[in-house]
Amino acid sequence: MTAPAETAPSPGQPATLREAAIDALAAGDLDEKVRLTNLACRLWFARRLGLHSATDPAHPGRPGRPEEPELVSPRFLPRRSAHTEEGRIVLIHALAHIELNAIDLALDIVARFAREAMPRSFFDGWMTVALEEAKHFGLLSRRLQQLGSRYGALPAHDGLWQAVEATAHDLSARLAVVPLILEARGLDVTPSMIDKLTAVGDLDTAKILEIIYRDEKKHVAIGAKWFRFLCARQNVNAAERFGLLVRESFRGEVKAPFNDRARAEAGLTPTFYRSLSPRSR
**What does the alpha-carbon distance between residue 271 and residue 269 come to, in Å, rounded to a whole number?**
6
Note the pLDDT of residue 204: 98
Among 192, 180, 173, which residue's Cα sits nearest to residue 270?
180
- The DSSP call for residue 81 is -
Paired strand residues for 50: 16
Residue 84 is given by DSSP the state: S
| pLDDT for the residue numbered 1 | 38
Give the model's pLDDT for residue 11.
Answer: 64
Output the pLDDT for position 266: 97
Tell me: pLDDT of 3 over 90: no
Confidence of residue 223 (pLDDT cuts 50, 70, 90): very high
Model pLDDT, residue 280? 53
Average of per-residue pLDDT across 53-79: 92
The model's pLDDT over 133-180, given as tens digits with 9 standing for 90+, comes to 999 999 999 999 999 999 999 999 988 888 889 999 999 999 999 999
Asked whether the beta carbons of 243 and 272 are under 8 A apart, the reply is yes
Per-residue confidence (pLDDT) for residue 175, from 0 to 100? 98
pLDDT at 2: 44
Average pLDDT over residues 91-105: 97
Q: How far apart are CA 263 and CA 184, in angstroms?
A: 7
Is residue 9 pLDDT above 90, yes or no? no
> Has residue 261 got a pLDDT over 90?
yes
pLDDT at 263 over 90: yes
Mean per-residue pLDDT for 247-256?
91
**DSSP per position, 94-158:** HHHHHHHHHHHHHHHHHHHHTTS---HHHHHHHHHHHHHHHHHHHHHHHHHHHTT--TTSS-B--
Query: What is the average pLDDT score of the chain?
Result: 93
Stretch 92-96: mean pLDDT: 97
Q: What pLDDT is recorded for position 161?
A: 86
Quick check: 281 pLDDT over 70?
Answer: no
Task: List, for residues 181-216, the tens digit of each pLDDT value.
Answer: 999 999 999 999 999 999 999 999 999 999 999 999
Q: How far is CA 7 from CA 16, 48, 123, 181, 270, in A?
A: 11, 5, 18, 38, 45
